[in-house]
Amino acid sequence: MASSQYIGALDMGTAKVSILVAELSPPSRLKIIGRAMVPSRGIRKGRVLNVREATTCVHRAIREAEKSAGVNLKSLYLSISGSHLKGELQVGKAQVSHSARIVTDYDVGRAVEEAKRRDLGPDRVFVQYIRNPFLLDGKKVDEPYSLRGNEIQASFWAVHADARVLREQMQIVNSFVSRIDDIFLSSLVVGRVLTSEEQRQSGVLVLDIGAGTTDFVLYGDGYVLMTGVLDVGGDHITNDLSVAFKIPWESAERLKVDYGKATPVEGAGDDWVWLRGDLSIGDRRFSKRAIQRVIHARMEELFQLVRRAVLPVLEREDLRCSALMTGGVTRLTAIENLAGQVLKMPAATGRNPDWVINELQVPEMSNVLGQVQFALQDYSDSVSGSRKSQGLLGKVKGFWSK
């Protein structure tokens, strides 16, 4: 019988580096036994800007998580984000070769090969092909094998990355653990942990609004139709407040956290707040409404950018779509109302699974919880002897020698 194993899930974000340690045991049992969340340094928008600072904070997070769990990690799962990730729909077609027009493995293989044929430049690497439905003579089918038709079409949402950016992140992790178990797109792990199969069938747009980026994934008919990353997040709100009120970054961050609201309340009267509240020299007061107007403008722009990005797919698929949001920015009051208005769909704040403790219900933990869920599936497959579900790692190993 397979024995228990310990896995770690790492999220290298702009504001925080988060890690979970879980114990996996047969047949499909999972127990969170350790965690850590430390301020991020040298990492911004999915890129390593300062290797020494990034290495130090990642090492600190790993040490704290290991101490919390009482185990030494030999490997880690890793999620990736950043605008260096690009996605596009790739399509391949093949004529059914059987005389009776019965679709065979050979026909499907030719269509798949055609869909994946595009070459990238030396500085880019494909990290994932996410299969969309097959089309048989223009009609959607989940599995075309043994069906009758004339033409089979395979399509993939293909994601590729900057090879150097990806290599730097992997090297930092490998400086502390001997192996990276797998690499996941941040949007996919968040989408899986927040949504149900029913939601993915009917259509759901998942947004992870962090400090530096907004990752999104759009589902429909149970498939991933689109992923993307925008270089806009909570730090932009803080910067806007800092510029608008001519105050230090740290003071602007405090105003955002303490008084932030996505939609200001208009009408008679206004509340005022003090920057420090100690009436010392240089202390100033600010209008809550003015603070909220700055936040509203930035958040409205963000949701407009998301709407613009997914609109071509929404129109093509004719989905009855809703939106789910997570990430630190979703702590803003009334963010659901603004998102719904701009995205033109019902919007809500997502919830992490009920089985996790209260300390893990915070939106910043959605990413690492999603990685743990994928790890559990991999472990369950290995215990049962079925084929291991493939993430990104098998697709990017080859670029190390380039």
User: pLDDT by residue (tens digit) across 169-211?
Assistant: 999 999 999 899 999 999 999 999 999 999 999 999 999 999 9
pLDDT in the model for residue 393: 53
Kindly state whether residue 244 falls inside one of the protein's structural domains.
Answer: no
Mean pLDDT over each residue of the chain, to the nearest integer: 89
Kindly state whether residue 37 falls inside one of the protein's structural domains.
Answer: no
Kindly state whether residue 130 falls inside one of the protein's structural domains.
Answer: yes
pLDDT in the model for residue 401: 33
Does 248 sit behind a cis peptide bond, omega within 30 degrees of 0 on the bond before it?
no
pLDDT in the model for residue 385: 57
Residue 128 near residue 392, CB atoms below 8 Å: yes
User: For 234-248, what is each residue's pLDDT tens digit?
Assistant: 999 999 999 999 999
Confidence band, pLDDT 50/70/90 cuts, at residue 396: very low
User: For 262-308, what is each residue's pLDDT tens digit?
Assistant: 988 776 557 888 887 666 677 788 899 999 999 999 999 999 999 99
Please list the alpha-helical segments (H only) found in 195-287. 197-202, 234-245, 249-259
Confidence band, pLDDT 50/70/90 cuts, at residue 356: confident
Kindly state whether residue 22 falls inside one of the protein's structural domains.
Answer: no
Structural domain of residue 125, as residue ranges?
86-162
Number of domains in the chain: 1
Please give the single-letter amino acid code of residue 21: V
**pLDDT of residue 1 exceeding 70:** no
d(C-alpha 159, C-alpha 163), whole Å: 12
Residue 53 near residue 61, CB atoms below 8 Å: no
Kindly state whether residue 107 falls inside one of the protein's structural domains.
Answer: yes
pLDDT in the model for residue 400: 36
Burial of 72 (0-12, 13-18, 19+ CB in 10 A): exposed
Backbone angles phi, psi at 280, to 5 degrees: -80, 170
Tokens describing residue 229:
């990353």
Tell me the mean pLDDT in the region 6-16: 94
pLDDT in the model for residue 276: 72
- Which of 251, 253, 215 lies closest to 232 in space, CA to CA? 215
- Domain with 131 in it: what CATH number? 3.30.1490.110
Kindly state whether residue 117 falls inside one of the protein's structural domains.
Answer: yes
Confidence band, pLDDT 50/70/90 cuts, at residue 317: confident
pLDDT in the model for residue 381: 67
**pLDDT of residue 70 exceeding 80:** yes
Confidence band, pLDDT 50/70/90 cuts, at residue 118: confident
Beta strands in 293-352 (DSSP E): 322-326, 347-349
Beta strands in 116-210 (DSSP E): 124-131, 134-136, 139-141, 151-162, 179-185, 204-209
**pLDDT of residue 345 exceeding 50:** yes
Kindly state whether residue 138 falls inside one of the protein's structural domains.
Answer: yes
pLDDT in the model for residue 28: 76
Confidence band, pLDDT 50/70/90 cuts, at residue 387: very low
Residue 111 near residue 214, CB atoms below 8 Å: no
Kindly state whether residue 177 falls inside one of the protein's structural domains.
Answer: no
